[in-house]
Amino acid sequence: MRAERDALADRLRRSEARVKVLFDHSPVPVSVVSVADGRYTYVNRAYCEFYGRPAEYYLGTDPYQVWVEVTLPEEFEAERALFQRIADGEIEHYTIEKCFRLPNDQRAHGELTLTVTRDAQGRMHELVSVTRDLRSLRATQDAQRSLEEQLRRSQKLEVVGRMAGGVAHDFNNRLLIVMGYADMLRSELSEPRLLEMVEQITISAERSAELTKQLLAFSRRQRLSPKSVDVGETLSRMRRMLESLLSEKVELAVELGAAERLFCDPGQLEQVVLNLAINARDAMPSGGRLTLATRDVPPGAPELPAELARTHCVALDVSDTGAGIAAHVLPHIFEPFFTTKPLGLGTGLGLSTVEGIVRQSGGYVSVATREGAGTTVTAAFPVSDAALDLAPAPIELDLEARSGRLGTVLICDDDDAVRKLLADVLAIGSYRVLSACDGQQARALASGAAKIDLLVTDIVMPRTSGTELAAELRAMHPDALVLFVSGCVDPDALSSIQGEEFLAKPFLPAALLKRVREIIDARVSPSESGYHVPRSKPSS
Ligand SMILES: Nc1ncnc2c1ncn2[C@@H]1O[C@H](COP(=O)(O)OP(=O)(O)OP(=O)(O)O)[C@@H](O)[C@H]1O
Ligand SMILES: [Mg+2]
């Protein structure tokens, strides 16, 4: 009997020792308060580290006083009520998330669980507290939030920049026409009253040109650097980052089905993926599945929009199993600043940015959604080698042949009114004018012409840029000279034509004629005009 009791006591001692080791070394703060004595009987090391004082302090202090010290006054009542329910025997434990007040005015976010143990008669015996430190979790969430905030801010600037740049660029073309025709009108007029009116038009247009310059400088248009991109590789590389943006309740699946590489700016492709993934996540607050899938869309596929019917594309489908998009919301989702999210959570620029990027890259965006069943947003880009097949079929060419006494000038500008003005001005200057609306048409005209003296071309044009066109033309007509005209003041775009002849839009007709004359004359006798025209060989 005695031996049995000893063995039992020994087992108990060993068990207690084991529990003590566990608590002592636990990284979780734990305390035990004896209800009968109203004082702490145990605190572990993690407890002292979290709450900020040595064990002696707690063991010698009234637990109620400690509770008052670490609890924010505005949280007293809520926790007191929970404690009352333990005292009344209604509940055995409670868990509360709180902001702890610590020594030296520190604050720490944590979760407290308080549990009561009772004796055989059901009386409260001990109160055991376990605290979960939520600070690092909070820090991660904050970092994630600030990352998203940064993305949003940079997008806002980008959209504003794109709008400003787009407006300024178009505006320069319009001003060129106002200034050009006003100037031609002046040369036809002799009545002082009418001349004065025309003068006012010119002055006002020149002032507007100044404003446009400022606007362009402000927006600092960023240049796209499209490349051949392996979208699968991009998605694999982004996977970790995407996972960190999703909650554990959202499962991420990547299905790579596209065989082709696509053609776009790699940084912008990442922005597209990020935006669509964040939207999908936000649509699934209680969890679900996010799928990123790629596939080829061959020419002629029914889903291709009419203008891309002959284009081979690679599609990226971003699908969620979320709430879907309501019929009355759907027509608006691509509008800049349209959002259904609470203030501060969405700027409504995500999808408009995505659409801008995809359109600029020559692709298309589409949405399929069912309320309650989820959404798939598709962003499709042309495959990398198809970029050159996009040009429309050659059309009947409008040749503006005048006397052509002074040489043949090939004009290329995608703006109809600008092209007509350039042609009118050069025709007045007695040049033979060939005019093309894009690289493809210019190529066709150049290959049919016996001689091209000068190419006057815009820099930024869809499909073939001015610099690409210039290179092609020089291959066909080694003697041809090139003059770039552009309303763009973007330093990147301008650096692509370094060493070339350049005239900034808007300009007056006389300035164009003077410049054209100088360039052509310089080729005949470089020493006389003083102009250096690189890459062209003096004709013999
Ligand atoms: N996957 C989706 N599921 C459900 N609704 C969506 C989804 N994607 C977009 N939407 C709807 O389209 C709206 C516009 O989306 P958009 O990405 O342009 O802006 P946002 O997400 O609200 O804000 P932010 O610019 O911060 O991304 C959203 O507010 C939402 O109502
Ligand atoms: Mg969004």
Q: Output the pLDDT for position 391.
A: 34
Q: Is residue 18 part of a domain?
A: no
What is the distance between the alpha carbons of residues 115 and 494, in angstroms, rounded to a whole number? 72
Name the pLDDT band for 219 (thresholds 50, 70, 90). Answer: low
pTM of the model: 0.46
* Domain hosting residue 149, numbered range: 143-219
For atom 17 of ligand 1, which residue has the closest CA? Answer: 350
Q: Output the pLDDT for position 216.
A: 62
Which atom belonging to ligand 1 lies closest to the Cα atom of 148?
26
**Residues 384 and 285 occupy one common structural domain:** yes
**Residues 348 and 372 occupy one common structural domain:** yes
Pocket residue to mutate for ligand 1, from 152, 273, 279, most atoms within 8 A of Cβ = 279
Q: Is residue 319 part of a domain?
A: yes
Domain count, the chain: 4
Q: Output the pLDDT for position 217.
A: 58
Segment 249-257 mean pLDDT: 94
Spatial contact of 50 and 65, defined as CB atoms under 8 Å apart: no
Q: Output the pLDDT for position 243.
A: 85
Which is higher by pLDDT, 135 or 399?
135
- Asked whether the predicted pLDDT for residue 222 surpasses 50, the reply is no
Return the biggest CA–CA distance within the chain: 134
What is the distance between the alpha carbons of residues 52 and 46, in angstroms, rounded to a whole number? 10
CATH of the domain at 523: 3.40.50.2300
Q: Output the pLDDT for position 489.
A: 60
pLDDT tens digits for 444-466? 999 988 889 999 999 888 889 99
pLDDT tens digits for 401-417? 334 467 899 999 998 88
Looking at every residue in the chain, the average pLDDT score rounds to 84
For atom 7 of ligand 1, which residue has the closest CA? Answer: 279
**Residues 265 and 184 occupy one common structural domain:** no
- Provide CB contacts within 8 A for 324, sequence distance 6+: 283, 369, 370, 371, 372, 373, 374, 375
* Percent over 90 (pLDDT), the chain: 46
Q: Output the pLDDT for position 297.
A: 96
Q: Output the pLDDT for position 452.
A: 93
What is the distance between the alpha carbons of residues 472 and 461, in angstroms, rounded to a whole number? 15
Phi, psi values for residue 286, rounded to 5°: -105, 25
Q: Output the pLDDT for position 253.
A: 96
Q: Which of 175, 192, 219 is the last residue of a domain?
A: 219
Positive or negative torsion for Cα 67, 71, 73, 75: negative
Segment 477-484 mean pLDDT: 93
Q: Output the pLDDT for position 490.
A: 66
Q: For tokens 């959002």, what's the residue?
A: 339
- Asked whether the predicted pLDDT for residue 99 surpasses 80, the reply is yes
**Residues 326 and 465 occupy one common structural domain:** no
> What is the H or E stretch that residue 173 is in?
helix 135-188
Spatial contact of 108 and 47, defined as CB atoms under 8 Å apart: no
> What is the H or E stretch that residue 199 is in?
helix 192-219
Q: Is residue 15 part of a domain?
A: no
Q: Is residue 10 part of a domain?
A: no
Q: Is 349 in the pocket of ligand 1 (CB under 6 A)?
A: yes
Distance 365 CA to ligand 1 centre (A): 14
Pairing of strands 262-264, 227-229: antiparallel
Ranges 260-269, 374-383, 430-439: which has the least confidence: 260-269
Q: Output the pLDDT for position 527.
A: 39
Q: Is 338 in the pocket of ligand 1 (CB under 6 A)?
A: yes
**Residues 73 and 192 occupy one common structural domain:** no
Spatial contact of 88 and 94, defined as CB atoms under 8 Å apart: no
pLDDT tens digits for 152-203? 767 776 777 777 777 777 788 888 889 888 988 988 899 998 998 898 888 8
Which is higher by pLDDT, 170 or 58?
58
Q: Which residue, among 176, 222, 212, has the nearest Cα to 417 in the 3D structure?
A: 176
Pocket residue to mutate for ligand 1, from 351, 354, 358, 376, most atoms within 8 A of Cβ = 351
**Residues 366 and 302 occupy one common structural domain:** yes
Segment 126-139 mean pLDDT: 90
Q: Output the pLDDT for position 146.
A: 78
Spatial contact of 52 and 103, defined as CB atoms under 8 Å apart: yes
**Residues 349 and 486 occupy one common structural domain:** no
pLDDT tens digits for 496-511? 888 889 988 888 888 8
DSSP one-letter code for 186: H
- Asked whether the predicted pLDDT for residue 271 surpasses 80, the reply is yes
pLDDT tens digits for 14-47? 988 888 899 999 999 999 999 999 999 999 999 9
CATH of the domain at 105: 3.30.450.20
Which is higher by pLDDT, 216 or 230?
230
Q: Characterise 324 by phi-psi region: left (phi > 0), alpha (psi -120 to 50), beta (else).
A: left
What is the distance between the alpha carbons of residues 149 and 346, in angstroms, rounded to a whole number? 9
**Residues 284 and 336 occupy one common structural domain:** yes
* Percent over 70 (pLDDT), the chain: 89
Ranges 46-50, 234-238, 290-294: which has the least confidence: 234-238
Which is higher by pLDDT, 91 or 361?
91
Phi, psi values for residue 106, rounded to 5°: -80, 155
Q: Is residue 154 part of a domain?
A: yes
The helix-helix angle for 266-282 and 231-245 (nearest 10°) equals 40
Q: For tokens 């970790």, what's the residue?
A: 240
Positive or negative torsion for Cα 503, 507, 513, 518: negative
- Asked whether the predicted pLDDT for residue 296 surpasses 80, the reply is yes
Q: Which residue, among 382, 407, 375, 379, has the nearest Cα to 480 in the 3D structure?
A: 407
Q: For residue 344, which ligand has an atom nearest its CA?
A: 1
